[in-house]
Amino acid sequence: MSSYSSSLSSSYSGSPTSSFASLSFSNHSSGFDENVNSEVGMIKTWFSVLNDTERESALTSIAELPSLREIEPLIQALKERKQELWKQQQALIIQPPVKPKWVMPAFPHNSQDPRWAAKWLRALRLHKYEQCLVGLSPSQVSRMEDGDLQQLGVDTVGARAKMLRAIHNR
């Protein structure tokens, strides 16, 4: 069985009502246990969050000090709250503005409007292909395939795919 001995001296500087009061601990043993160091850190943290009245009361009556088991959950709760607030702040800063989702316009299958192609292609943002569909009815365009659109002059794969999706999306 080994004997364990350590000496821990403490000192208090400042008046009990001073907001700059500090509690210091000195370690005079080379083999001081890390748990004790951690507990000392918790006590220092506890004293740093007390207001002057609480500090005065705690120092005049050491029995009123909460035990480490009572302090530790409070410190942990403060840390968790700080992390939560930090995450909320970061979410507000980094969050990009919300853009409305673009809705694909419906194909005018039964339209009698002579300008149906111009209106439909403008809604699709493909108005540069308006001349390709001049003179065609909606029923003729609705039967077209990819190759037919390519022959009419719709030269990009993306534009043809977008038109075909809009035609067949009911």
Least confident among 14-18, 36-40, 91-95, 148-152? 14-18
| Angle, in degrees to the nearest 10, between helices 157-168 and 116-124 | 110
pLDDT digits (tens, 9 = 90+) for 41-66: 887 888 788 888 887 877 776 666 67
- Segments of the chain assigned E as strands: 8-13, 22-27
Residues 119-134: what's their mean pLDDT? 92
pLDDT at 121 over 90: yes
Residue, of 4 and 27, whose pLDDT is higher? 27
Q: Is residue 46 classed as helix, strand or coil in its secondary structure? A: helix
Q: Which CATH number fits domain 116-168: 3.40.50.300, 3.60.15.10, 2.40.160.20, 1.10.150.50?
A: 1.10.150.50
Band of the pLDDT at 13, cuts 50, 70, 90? Answer: low
Q: Is residue 9 classed as helix, strand or coil in its secondary structure? A: strand
pLDDT at 163 over 80: yes
Residue tagged 């111009």 (tokens): 118
Residue, of 148 and 63, whose pLDDT is higher? 148
Residues 147-168: what's their mean pLDDT? 93
Band of the pLDDT at 80, cuts 50, 70, 90? Answer: very high
Q: How far apart are CA 33 and CA 41, in angstroms?
A: 13
The confidence score (pLDDT) of residue 10 equals 47
pLDDT at 102 over 90: no
Domain ranges (residues) in the chain: 8-94, 116-168
Residues 24-53: what's their mean pLDDT? 72
Averaged pLDDT of the chain:
79
